[in-house]
Amino acid sequence: MGRSVAKSLSSLSLGPERKVKCYNGYFVNGYVFHTEEYEHGRKTYNDGVCVKGSTCSKLEVDYYGRLEEVVELQYHSEQNRVFLFICYLHDTTDRGIRVDPHYGLVETT
């Protein structure tokens, strides 16, 4: 095991630092995400999230929701950072959401 790998593992084993940073948005993989609070009162919204689900069986369930908070955990090294998206997920049964078949837009009920 290389020295840099051992140093990274050692940093992770100590757990995250006690302080966290919170953001009202985040840019990742060419997409911009904003929290619901940040978008409140604006003409357009970009706080929706979709998590494509899959299981070992043929059953696949997608999860839809709204971004509530973005939290950055810092581990005892500048290279070890983790961003968490805290989301409010909607009921994915037929009662909770509807996906428009033509446009693919998600509506919550």
Is there a contact between 33 and 85 (Cβ–Cβ < 8 Å)? yes
pLDDT in tens, 54-103: 666 666 777 788 889 999 998 876 677 888 999 887 766 666 666 777 77
- What is the mean predicted confidence (pLDDT) over 23-52? 84
DSSP 91: P
Q: What is the pLDDT of residue 108?
A: 62
Residue 4, pLDDT score = 72
Rg of the chain over all Cα atoms, to the nearest angstrom: 18
Query: Residue 45's closest CA among 105, 85, 101?
Result: 105
User: How does DSSP assign 15-32, residue by residue?
Assistant: -EEEEEEEESEEEETTEE
The predicted structure's pLDDT at residue 69 = 92
Q: What are the domain boundaries of the chain?
A: 3-108
Q: What is the pTM of this model?
A: 0.66
- Per-residue pLDDT at 32 exceeds 90: no
